[in-house]
Structure 1
Amino acid sequence: MNYFCCPIKTTKTNNEKLQFLIRMGTFYNNAVCDIYMGKGAGAKLMQDIRNAKKNVKIVSPYLSPFLIKELIFLHSRGINIKLITSDEIEDFYGYEKNIHKLIIQNKHVDQKAKETRDNLESLSGTLLFAMIGLAVVLFPLMYLLKDLKYGLGFIIVVLIFFARDSVVKKIRNTKVYHYTYKQLFPFKVFVSPNNNGNSFNKTFIHSKIYVIDDEIAYLGSLNFTGSGVKENHETRIRTTDINAVQKIIEEVKDLFFNSNLAERDIQFWGSQLYDEPGN
């Protein structure tokens, strides 16, 4: 499945986009922080995330399925989650799809179409009964009375067969169900410039930002992936500096709500990820 062709959302004019890109960015000086460099840079991060009491905000262009499960578990505990990622998600084309777990399919019944289909199915059953019944009557008549003129009755059987076949096709083409999609918790999937060559905005969200309970913030190189959290040599800065954390929260909020970067449309994307039986 090629998801690179799915619709993207854009609303602002090119001039408004340019103004955002000019001001896009945050600078804060003299923050008090801890610095870590090396393997296992995500150990403390994961500990803080798992101990979250109110909310978790994550910006990471790449995700691993088992870490998505961590967020789903936090959500089930009532923790508010906000996630920003890209459409170059790790393992996206693998067996276990990340975003699939975060998109909920809602199935809706078209009652009028259902009534039409039920009537067609009833008609199909009546025609089948008539076709079989007439054939059962004609065969003994031809055999017992030795009169081939009763064979002309099979013309009616054939006509009933074609009429029923037409009804069956209408049944198959009558779509009783339609589908909509919603997010398990708020997230954005921004389009990579590599997948949207005609986009005015060439910005790739490459930042890795983690905010826990609006009190702890992490910055660095580690993605929200197994390799980033455990295996790779990564850099990680952790701060509880009130002013620094607030600046980081504002940046994440602006990126989530006001960036106007091209993003994947959840309705189209959901239709690609899920089966949608018509009736």
Structure 2
Amino acid sequence: MGMFYNNAVCDIYIGKSAGAKLLQDIRNAKRNVKIVSPYLSPSLIKELIFLHSKGIDVQLITSDEIEDFYGNDKNINKLIVQKRHVDEKAKQSRDGLVNLSGTLLFAVIGLAVILFPLIFLLENWNFAYGFIAVVLLFFIRDSLVRQIKNKKIYYYTYKQLFPFKVFISSNNGNSLNKTFVHSKIYVIDDEIAYLGSLNFTGKGIKSNHETRIRTADPNAVGRIVEEVNHLFSESNLAERDLQFWGSQLYTEPIN
């Protein structure tokens, strides 16, 4: 798609703290917030999560080159919700193995307790052959314990906390995308729009020397909203698969 709009009424800001007014408008949103930013900071993701918790519709477009993605406080983990499901048939099978394992353990201990007195009190070493059965039962139980540990009874699915797109960067050698979504666009309540250089990051909002414009021109904002909606729904750019990515981001204990 793409757009050109002439004679929009707007204000311009250049310098540090370019995002102060932007963040204020986002926090004061009444209905919805739309953000396009290839880089994100965890602290600002928390702002979006808070808005979502208040019932504000949030829509986010970003890239897989998210800032701090490889740090301890991963942005994307806050936006992907893991749900654990139980395979009931597998669980019943595992429970049966657990019960059998317990029975075998009782048999191993009980047989050993019986054999020792028989051997030493009756001084009949023929009873020692009974320990062959004890050893066999021990190895059978050991095999069951390994099966129990490897029995998969849980499987996992993932969903988005709120609608977002993570487009695969064209910097990725395996990416089919020829276009890197480098735009920084912010729309609040479909009434206010920001364009400029600042990413939705702590440095972009506060300390970097950035440029931005802010407009409440209804026609201009309407055109910007159309462009963002098109990018979200009809861009046909390759994006991260939610289910696969979730399995890479989260641990998935099998039982």
Instruction: Tell me the residue number matched to 2:203.
Output: 227
The letter for the 2-side match of 1:83 is L
Runs of 4+ in 1 over 6 A off after TM superposition: none
Shift, 1:201, TM fit: 2.6
> How far did residue 141 of structure 1 move?
0.7
Q: TM-score, normalised by structure 1?
A: 0.90
Deviations 1:143-197 (A, max 9, x none): 11111111100110111011111111211121111110100000011111112x2
Scaled by the length of structure 2, the TM-score of the pair is 0.98
Which residue pairs with 1:26 in the alignment? 3
Q: Tell me the matched-pair count.
A: 255
RMSD in angstroms over aligned alpha carbons?
Answer: 0.9
| Counterpart AA for 1:99 | I
What letter is aligned with 2:210? E
Compute the displacement of 1:199 (Å). Answer: 3.3
Match of 1:178 in 2: 155
Report the Cα offset of residue 271 of structure 1: 1.2
- Asked if the contact 2:170–2:176 (Cα under 8 Å) also holds between the matched residues in 1, the reply is no
Report the AA paired with residue 186 of structure 2: Y
Q: Contact 2:169/2:175 (CA < 8 Å) preserved in 1? A: no
Instruction: Name the counterpart of 1:133.
Output: 110
Corresponding residue of 1:92 = 69
Aligned to 1:106, what secondary structure does the other structure show? strand
Q: Partner of 2:124 in structure 1?
A: 147
| AA at the equivalent of 1:219 | L
One-letter amino acid matched to 2:242? I
Match of 1:58 in 2: 35
Instruction: For 2:253 and 2:43, locate their aligned partners in 1 and report how far apart those are by CA, in whole Å.
Output: 29
Residue 154 of structure 1: SS of its match in structure 2?
Answer: helix
Partner of 1:276: 252
Q: Which residue pairs with 1:5 in the alignment?
A: none
Shift of 1:268: 1.1
1:76 aligned residue = 53
Aligned pair partner of 1:106 in 83, 93, 97: 83
CA contact (8 A) 2:176 2:238 kept: no
Q: Provide the rounded CA distance (Å) in 1 between the counterparts of 2:175 and 2:60.
A: 23
Opposite residue 261 of structure 1, the aligned amino acid is L
